[in-house]
Amino acid sequence: MYRIVASDMDETFLGHDKRPTRSNLDAVAAMGDLGVSFVVATGRPYFSVQGTLEEVGTKGDPDAYTISLNGGYVCANDGTVVAAHPLDAEVVDRLRAFGLENGLCGHMYLADRTLAMNLNDGEREFLDGRMEVVPATWEEAEGLDEPVYKILFEDTDLDELHRMLDTAKEALGGLADKVEPVFSSDRYVEFNPAGVGKGSGLAEIARTLGVPMEETVAVGDSVNDLSMLEVAGLPLVVSNVSELARPLLPEGCVVLGSSCDEGCMPEVLERFVRPSLEG
């Protein structure tokens, strides 16, 4: 039986209009009635997903959980922290300097705000309605005395993103093994602490709830969902799965017939979750 359903947000639970379908919300409510925990799993910071949690009906719920910052910050929906994994301070300084030297558009994620550097028009449009950021410069971010949980760089040219990752690793030198880089939304290369991802976040929540991993479901669409798909008892992706992620999907991963815009949760509920509970 499946007792936890963890879902990515953007382009999975949320459509391209940045909103959940009514059918998704109804399906999640039905899961709750069956005793199944619905977990939001996102690369965004926890504070930026409060609107979605309110729509889902779990905002402020101490028994519901969110994986944010790709597993860097995991908490109950009343704000109680389950696990927090900041980047090494020297890694932060190297990546900040890399962004500055190359004039890159990027974000630095702190617990209570996201700093956004060198925003371009396309990035402003992409962020609009998704999350709020604080415009800043790489210079202003030097010497931050608070934890940084994730740093990312943006480019819509996927070949350039791959080159960016390679050169960032060169800049990190011996520190490269302290980061877990992933691609997301076909526009970002993200850096989390090594060993930290949505998969580790799901495992931490499963331990907290006393649920075996084989009783968990993960739903995603992108490369930053892979760690979650790899550890879940049932890995699923929406039909609009990223072309970057598609060849990397773990064995046994099921491609759903439904897309993020159609609403995938009714299919997850009726095809997998409900039968597992009734069997």
Tens of pLDDT, residues 69-95? 999 999 999 999 999 999 999 999 999
What digits encode the pLDDT tens for the residues 213-252? 999 999 999 999 999 999 999 999 999 999 889 999 999 9
User: CA 162, CA 265: separation in Å to the nearest integer?
Assistant: 32
| Inter-residue contact 233 to 2 (CB < 8 Å) | yes
What digits encode the pLDDT tens for the residues 161-184? 999 999 999 999 999 999 989 888
User: CA 83, CA 266: separation in Å to the nearest integer?
Assistant: 30
Q: Start-end ranges of CATH 3.30.1240.10 in the chain? A: 89-193
Does position 19 have pLDDT exceeding 90, yes or no? yes
| Inter-residue contact 94 to 157 (CB < 8 Å) | no
Q: Start-end ranges of CATH 3.40.50.1000 in the chain? A: 4-84+196-278
Amino acid sitting at position 1: M
Confidence class of residue 66 from pLDDT cuts 50, 70 and 90? Answer: very high
How does the average pLDDT of the chain come out, rounded?
95
Confidence class of residue 33 from pLDDT cuts 50, 70 and 90? Answer: very high
Say what the pLDDT of residue 279 is: 65
Does position 129 have pLDDT exceeding 90, yes or no? no
DSSP SS3 for 259: coil
Provide, rounded to the nearest whole percent, the portion of the chain with pLDDT above 90.
90
Say what the pLDDT of residue 23 is: 98
Confidence class of residue 204 from pLDDT cuts 50, 70 and 90? Answer: very high
DSSP SS3 for 109: strand
Give this prediction's pTM: 0.86
Say what the pLDDT of residue 186 is: 83
Provide, rounded to the nearest whole percent, the portion of the chain with pLDDT above 70.
100
> 249 Cβ partners below 8 Å, 6+ apart?
226, 229, 235, 237, 241, 255
| Inter-residue contact 107 to 115 (CB < 8 Å) | yes
For tokens 């005793």, the residue is: 35
Fold of 89-193: 3.30.1240
Class of the CATH-defined domain 4-84+196-278 = alpha beta
